[in-house]
Amino acid sequence: MTNIDPKLTDLFFKQNKEMKVLFGNTYQNEFYNSVFDLGKGGMEFNFTPLNSNALAKILAYPWSGADFSDRLWDNKDKLYRNLKQTMTQGLVQGQPYDKMIKNLADKMDVSYRQAGVLVKTETSHFMNQAQLDGYKEADIEEYRFLAAMEERTCPECESLDGQVFKMSEASVGENYPPMHPLCRCSTIPEMGQSHKGTRAAKIGDEWVEVPETMTFEEWRKANELAYLNPLSI
């Protein structure tokens, strides 16, 4: 058993890095897409391109009580306990290896599903947070909650559908998604202000128009927006 913990540690370090890249890139893509969509929708505003400090703050934010790295390490400890218990019981009881493998697989099936819930929910959080920050860049004052109207939609999310909230009162889990694990709800900006044109600006007064035919990639290059490497943060 002495060789198991170091191998699990290496495995979870690798998983941690992969998730950091996933969440970091997800946030950047959604943030810039949000700004792009608002500009294409006719809003005129300045926005600040993301920097390393801003992205690091987002990646470390404990939206549900602990950042995703801490929850990964908690899963690692649970995996180690399950593995140790399965092997110890198997050796004491003289179980064949295929029996121990089956027992561990049964236990890990739960852990696998929990890991899936973690990744999907965290990804949803970063996507929705990026949209929220995009709204802030455009000085949006209110947003409208949109529930995922499906059979699985929970009563709480359904009751929030269509409601308008102030940006200053946005709170994840209360009136801003994700409301709960595997939440599929979203938001849209409440456009109660007049539009001045069809352009979204970079820092300063250098405006880049966003005509109807302009693609996101063309807009990103025109604004010289390069994605940051999450692993360098």
For residue 168, the number of C-alpha atoms closer than 13 Å in the C-beta half-sphere is: 1
CA distance 217 to 213: 12
- pLDDT number for residue 31: 95
- pLDDT number for residue 93: 92
- pLDDT number for residue 233: 87
- pLDDT number for residue 205: 64
- pLDDT number for residue 32: 94
- pLDDT number for residue 197: 47
**What is the pTM assigned to this prediction?**
0.84
Residue bearing tokens 């947070």? 129
- pLDDT number for residue 12: 86
Give pLDDT tens digits along the chain (233 positions): 567 778 888 888 898 899 999 999 999 999 999 999 888 877 777 888 899 999 999 998 877 777 888 888 888 888 888 888 998 999 899 999 888 888 888 888 878 888 888 889 999 999 999 999 999 988 899 999 999 887 889 999 999 999 999 999 999 999 999 999 999 999 999 976 544 445 566 655 667 778 778 889 988 888 888 899 999 98
For residue 101, the number of C-alpha atoms closer than 13 Å in the C-beta half-sphere is: 3
